[in-house]
Amino acid sequence: MEADKDQYEASGPASLGMQDPEGYSYTAPNPFLGLNSIDPKALNPMIQGNGPEYLQYDTKGRGYTEKTFYNCGTMYLLGIVGGGTYGFFEGLRSSPSNKFKIRLNTVLNKCGRRGSRAGNALGALALMYSLFDALAGTFEIDHYLGGYDVNPLLAATATGLVYKSTHGPKTMALAAVIGGGLVLGVSGAKTLLPRPLNSPSGVMFF
C-alpha cells in the first residue's frame, strides 16, 4: 500500500503542485493501481483461453432459413397484392351487369383468382431460388470462380430452368435468361440505394 501511495504521489496532481479548492486529497492511494495483476479466470471460472472472445456473426447477412421465409413471404404478398389489383380492374371491365351485387361478385372472384395464382407462382419461384442459393453457398461455388458473388445469378438461372422444365428446351433457356437478367438488374439497382439498404441483409434475395 505504501508503494502504491508513493507511486500515486509521484505521478498524481499533487506532484504538479495542484491545489484542490474542494478539500479533496490528491495524496490518497489510487484504488485502481495493481488491477493488471489480477487474473480474470480467478474471478470467472467460465473464461477459457487467453485470446479475445467474439460473437458469431454471419458476414453475408441473413441465414439461409431466414432468407427462405423472408423471400417466400414477401413474394407471396407481392403476388397477392399485384394479382388482386389486376383482378379488381378485370372484374370491373368484365362484369355482365351494372348492378352492384353482380359487379361486386365478379370483382371478388377475379381478385381471388388472379391474386392466388400470382401469389402461388411468385412464392414457388422464391422458394426454388432460396434453395438453389443455399446449395450454391453450401458448396461455396463462388470460391471456385475467383471469389465473385455469383450465387444469386446461378440460383436465378437454375430457378428459371426448373420452373419451365416442362415446356421444352427453348422455353427453359428463355426463363433462365430472364431469371439471370432480373438478378443482374436488381444488383445494379442495389448499388444506387443508400448505404443502410445496400447492406447484405437490406435487400431481398441478398
- Residue 159, C-beta contacts closer than 8 angstroms, at least 6 positions apart: 125, 128, 129, 132, 179
pLDDT in tens, 154-193: 999 999 999 999 999 999 999 999 999 999 898 888 788 7
Read off the pLDDT band of 44 (50, 70, 90). low
Q: How many CB atoms lie within 10 A of CB 125?
A: 20
- The amino acid sitting at 50 is N
Read off the pLDDT band of 2 (50, 70, 90). low
Q: What is the pLDDT of residue 80?
A: 97
Q: Could you give the CA distance from residue 137 to residue 151 in angstroms, rounded to a whole number?
A: 7
* Mean pLDDT lowest among 104-108, 153-157, 195-199: 195-199
Among residues 179, 168, 66, the alpha carbon closest in space to that of 122 is found at 179
Among residues 25, 22, 33, 26, the alpha carbon closest in space to that of 12 is found at 26
Provide, rounded to the nearest whole percent, the portion of the chain with pLDDT above 90.
47
Instruction: Name the grid cell of 174.
Output: 428463355
Angle at 157 between CA 184 and CA 131, to 5 degrees: 105
- Write down the H helix ranges in the chain: 2-11, 40-43, 64-94, 100-138, 151-163, 169-190
More confident residue, 63 or 181: 181
Q: What is the pLDDT of residue 17?
A: 46
- In this predicted structure, the answer to whether residue 106 has a pLDDT above a threshold of 50 is yes
170 — phi, psi (to 5°)? -65, -45
pLDDT in tens, 122-144: 999 999 999 999 998 888 887 78
| Residue spans per domain, the chain | 2-43, 64-132, 140-197
